[in-house]
C-alpha cells in the first residue's frame, strides 16, 4: 500500500456560507463512500484567513508574519485528503470521486514512507 | 563500423528490449532491470564479434541479464545492509526461458507503463525509446534534438516518478483501455512524425526513428490484434513509409508528390497498410478515429496511379471528417491544398483564409498565388515562409521557388 496526499484546488470559498451547503454535502458523501481509502483529511478556511510566516536570516531570527495567501491564483488550496491505495491507478480512481476534481483540480502527491 | 556489426548491434538492442520487459516484472524495479540489460548488451557487443553470435542469442541475453540483475540486487542489499526475502533472486536463478505468452504479456505491461498518462508526453516518448526500443540516452538525445545530459536527467526523473508515485506495471482494465491505448498510440505516432518531419538543420542520426516507430506499431498491433487504433496507426505509418524514399532525390532535394516516381513506392507496404486499415475500420463500424482518417487519406494517395488520377474530392471529404473529430491547423492546411487540387487555386486560397498563418501556411499560399499568376504576392509569401526552423532541403526548395517566381514577376 502507498499513501498519496490529494490536495484539492478549487474556488477560494468560505465553506460556512449557506450557498456552500450543497457542495459540502457532496464532499461528505465522498468521505462516507470512500472512507476505507481516507486516512486523514481537512477542509481549510479561505485564503483570506491565511498567515504567511517567515524567519529572517536563520533559525532564531525575527519572525515576520504577513497576510496570506502565498501565491495569488484563481484556484486555491482548499483542503486535502491523505489517501491509501495500491498504486497510482487506484489513487487516481479515488481522486476522481473528490468533488474538487470536477470543480477545479486534485493534485496527487506520493507520500514518502520512512521505514 | 561495418554493416555486419550494425546488424549485430541492432539484434542485440531489439532482443535486449524484449528481455527487459520480463526482467522489470521479476525484479520489480525499472532502473535495476535497465542496468542489468544494459550490462548484458554491452557484454554481447564486446564478446560476440570475437566469439561469434551464440546459437541462441535470446537465451544468452536472458541468462546474462538475470545474472547481472542478481549482482546488482546483491550489491544494493549489501549497501542497504538489510535482508530482503530472496524470492526474486530465486526466480532469477532458474535456467528456463520465460514462455512466449509471458514475454508478450510483459511487453504489453511495459508499453502501458512507459506511456502512462501521468507521465508528460515528452517523458513517455523518451522512455519508450529507452525501454521499448533499447536506445541509449545519447541516441535518444540525437533523435529528440537535445543533449545527452539533459536526456539522462529526464529519464532519471521519469523513473523516479514511476517508482515514487507507483505507476503500475499492468495492462489497464477493459474500462480504462480505450483512453490508455490512445496515449500509447499517441507516443508511437508522435515518434514516427518526429522522424518523418524533423525540425531544423541537417540531422545526422544513425537511428531510423521511423523504422523504430513502425517496429513498435507492429508490436502493439501484434499484442492487441483486435483493437482498432493500433491497426490504424500501423496502417498510417506503413502507407506513409511506402512513399518515404521518393520524397527526397539523390541530391537531397524535396520531390513533390506530383513529381514522385510512383513505381518506386513500396507496393507491399501499401497493400499491407490498406488491409490493416480495412480491418481497423471493420472493428469500429463506421465511427472513424483520427488515425483511420489519416490512413484513409494516405491510402487514397498511395492507390492513385498518377497525381492527375488522384481522387481529390474524396480526399477533401476525408479531411472534412478528420477536422470534425480532430481539428488542427495542420490538417486544415492540408485540406486547403486538397481543395485547390479538387476545385482550383482560387478555392484553395479562399480555404486558407480561415486558417491561422504559419511558415507552412505562407508556403502553401505562395504556391497557390503563383498558380493564379500573382507572382509578386507569391514571392512575398515565399519570403515569409522562410522564417523559423526548416530542414535544409525544405529551405532550398522554397528559395528556388521564390527565385523562379521573382523571375516571372519581373517579366
Q: How many Å apart are CA A52 and CA A72, to the nearest integer?
A: 13
CA distances B132 to B27, B172, B368, B401, Å, are 17, 18, 43, 42
pLDDT more than 90, % of chain B: 63
Q: How many Å apart are CA B258 and CA B210, to the nearest integer?
A: 23
Question: What are the pLDDT digits (tens) for A41-93?
Answer: 999 999 989 999 999 999 999 999 988 777 777 889 999 999 999 999 999 99
What integer pLDDT is reported at residue A79 of this predicted model? 95
CA distances B286 to A40, B179, B261, B272, B282, Å, are 48, 19, 34, 21, 8
Gap from B225 CA to chain A (nearest CA, Å): 25
Q: How many Å apart are CA A113 and CA A2, to the nearest integer?
A: 8
Cβ count near B270 (within 10 Å): 20
Residues of B in Cβ contact (< 8 Å) with A4: 165
Closest chain B CA to residue A109: B165
What integer pLDDT is reported at residue A73 of this predicted model? 76
What integer pLDDT is reported at residue A96 of this predicted model? 97
Gap from B174 CA to chain A (nearest CA, Å): 13
What integer pLDDT is reported at residue B9 of this predicted model? 87
CB–CB of B118 and A92 under 8 A? yes
Is B119's Cβ below 8 Å from some Cβ in A? no
Grade residue B204 by pLDDT with cuts at 50, 70 and 90. Answer: very low
Give the residue among A37, A39, A113, A96 at the shortest CA–CA distance from B166: A113
What integer pLDDT is reported at residue B299 of this predicted model? 96
- From the CA atom positions of chain B, what is the Rg in Å? 24
Q: What ranges do the domains of chain A cover?
A: 2-110
CB–CB of A92 and B168 under 8 A? no
CA angle B176, B181, B184 (to 5 degrees): 135
Grade residue B77 by pLDDT with cuts at 50, 70 and 90. Answer: confident
Question: What are the pLDDT digits (tens) for B255-292?
Answer: 888 899 999 999 999 999 999 999 999 988 767 899 99
Higher pLDDT, A25 or B139: A25
Chosen for mutation from A84, A89, A93 (greatest number of chain B CBs closer than 10 Å) is A89
What integer pLDDT is reported at residue A113 of this predicted model? 86
What integer pLDDT is reported at residue B113 of this predicted model? 94
Grade residue B6 by pLDDT with cuts at 50, 70 and 90. Answer: confident
pLDDT more than 90, % of chain A: 79
Candidates 3.10.310.10, 3.30.70.20, 3.30.70.1060, 3.40.50.2300; correct CATH number of A2-110? Answer: 3.30.70.1060
- Complex prediction ipTM: 0.85
What integer pLDDT is reported at residue B291 of this predicted model? 96
Residues of B in Cβ contact (< 8 Å) with A111: none
Is B82's Cβ below 8 Å from some Cβ in A? no
What integer pLDDT is reported at residue B255 of this predicted model? 85
Secondary structure letter of residue B9 according to DSSP: H
pTM metric for this prediction: 0.85
Residues of A in Cβ contact (< 8 Å) with B168: 86-89
Helix (H) or strand (E) holding B271: helix B267-284
Q: Three cell numbers at A96? A: 476522481
> What integer is the mean pLDDT of B180-193?
92
For cell 543533449, name the residue: B147
Q: How many Å apart are CA B255 and CA B288, to the nearest integer?
A: 31
Question: What are the pLDDT digits (tens) for B330-358?
Answer: 999 999 999 999 999 999 999 999 999 98
> What integer is the mean pLDDT of B206-224?
89
Amino acid at each position: 500500500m502507498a499513501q498519496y496526499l490529494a490536495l484539492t484546488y478549487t474556488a477560494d470559498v468560505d465553506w460556512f456560507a449557506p450557498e456552500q451547503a450543497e457542495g459540502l454535502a457532496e464532499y461528505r458523501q465522498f468521505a462516507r463512500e470512500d472512507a476505507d481509502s481516507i486516512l486523514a483529511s481537512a477542509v481549510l478556511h479561505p485564503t483570506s484567513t491565511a498567515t504567511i510566516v517567515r524567519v529572517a536570516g536563520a533559525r532564531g531570527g525575527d519572525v515576520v508574519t504577513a497576510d496570506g495567501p502565498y501565491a495569488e491564483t484563481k484556484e486555491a488550496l482548499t483542503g486535502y485528503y491523505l489517501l491509501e491505495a495500491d498504486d497510482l491507478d487506484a489513487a487516481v480512481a479515488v481522486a476522481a470521486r473528490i468533488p474538487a476534481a470536477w470543480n477545479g483540480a486534485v493534485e496527487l502527491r506520493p507520500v514518502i514512507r520512512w521505514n | 563500423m561495418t554493416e555486419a556489426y550494425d546488424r549485430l548491434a541492432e539484434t542485440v538492442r531489439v532482443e535486449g528490449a524484449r528481455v527487459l520487459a520480463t526482467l522489470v516484472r521479476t525484479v520489480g524495479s525499472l532502473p535495476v532491470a535497465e542496468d542489468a540489460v544494459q550490462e548484458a548488451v554491452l557484454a554481447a557487443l564486446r564478446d560476440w564479434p570475437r566469439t561469434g553470435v551464440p546459437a541462441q542469442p535470446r537465451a544468452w541475453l536472458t541468462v546474462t541479464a538475470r545474472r547481472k540483475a542478481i549482482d546488482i540486487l546483491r550489491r544494493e542489499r549489501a549497501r542497504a545492509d538489510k535482508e530482503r526475502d530472496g524470492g526474486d533472486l530465486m526466480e532469477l536463478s532458474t535456467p528456463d526461458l520465460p514462455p512466449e505468452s509471458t514475454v508478450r504479456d510483459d511487453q504489453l505491461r511495459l508499453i502501458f507503463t512507459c506511456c502512462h498518462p501521468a507521465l508528460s508526453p515528452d517523458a513517455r516518448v523518451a522512455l519508450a525509446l529507452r525501454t521499448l526500443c533499447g536506445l541509449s540516452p545519447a541516441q535518444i538525445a540525437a533523435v529528440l534534438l537535445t543533449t545527452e545530459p539533459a536526456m539522462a536527467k529526464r529519464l532519471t526523473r521519469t523513473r523516479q516518478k514511476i517508482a515514487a508515485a507507483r505507476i503500475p506495471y499492468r495492462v489497464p482494465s477493459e474500462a480504462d483501455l480505450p483512453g490508455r491505448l490512445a496515449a500509447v498510440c499517441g507516443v508511437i505516432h508522435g515518434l514516427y512524425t518526429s522522424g518523418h518531419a524533423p525540425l531544423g538543420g541537417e540531422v545526422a542520426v544513425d537511428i531510423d526513428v521511423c523504422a523504430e516507430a513502425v517496429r513498435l506499431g507492429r508490436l502493439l498491433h501484434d499484442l492487441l490484434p483486435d483493437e482498432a487504433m493500433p491497426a490504424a496507426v500501423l496502417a498510417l505509418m506503413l502507407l506513409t513509409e511506402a512513399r518515404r524514399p521518393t520524397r527526397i532525390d539523390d541530391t537531397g532535394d524535396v520531390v513533390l508528390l506530383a513529381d514522385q516516381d510512383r513505381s518506386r513506392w513500396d507496393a507491399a507496404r501499401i497493400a499491407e497498410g490498406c488491409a490493416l486499415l480495412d480491418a481497423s475500420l471493420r472493428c469500429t463500424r463506421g465511427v472513424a478515429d483520427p488515425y483511420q482518417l489519416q490512413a484513409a487519406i494516405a491510402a487514397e494517395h498511395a492507390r492513385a496511379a498518377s497525381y492527375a488520377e488522384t481522387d481529390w474530392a474524396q480526399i477533401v471529404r476525408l479531411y472534412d471528417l478528420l477536422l470534425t473529430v480532430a481539428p488542427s491547423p495542420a490538417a486544415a492546411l492540408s485540406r486547403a491544398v486538397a481543395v485547390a487540387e479538387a476545385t482550383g487555386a482560387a478555392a484553395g486560397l479562399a480555404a486558407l483564409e480561415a486558417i491561422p498563418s504559419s511558415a507552412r501556411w505562407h508556403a502553401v499560399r505562395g504556391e497557390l498565388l503563383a498558380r493564379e499568376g500573382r507572382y509578386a504576392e507569391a514571392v512575398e509569401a515565399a519570403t515569409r515562409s522562410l522564417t523559423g526552423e526548416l530542414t535544409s532541403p525544405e529551405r532550398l526548395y522554397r528559395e528556388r521557388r521564390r527565385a523562379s517566381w521573382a523571375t516571372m514577376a519581373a517579366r
